[in-house]
Amino acid sequence: MRVVLDTNTLISGVISPSGAPRQLLSGARTQTFDLCSSVVLMAELLDVLSREKFAKRLSQAGLTPLDIVRELRRLAYMCEPEIVPHVIANDPDDDHVLACAVAAKAE
């Protein structure tokens, strides 16, 4: 099964010690499913993780935004959508999540 996780889910999985997002990250690490992503989604993740509000928490865990993104890129099947249709008016960034899911043939 192929799965695309949005930035909020990935961040929650990284910073929360338990819960569904952490279980999803664990599933990707153990190859329970194929994590799929794109360059655009990884860039958004890096941007958000680099914000000041995450600096202390990541530092305490001995993590950097770049290390996290590198690990996720290593785990993920990277795909690039040919087209990103505008379908989510109130959050256009989510158009990239949907386009990645379609390109990856995610479930």
User: What pLDDT, on the 0 to 100 scale, is given for residue 65?
Assistant: 97
Q: Does this model's pTM top 0.85?
A: yes
Query: What is the residue-averaged pLDDT of the chain?
Result: 92
**Integer angstrom CA distances of residue 99 from 41, 54, 72, 96:** 11, 27, 19, 5
Architecture of domain 2-104: 3-Layer(aba) Sandwich (3.40)
Spans of the chain below 70 pLDDT: none
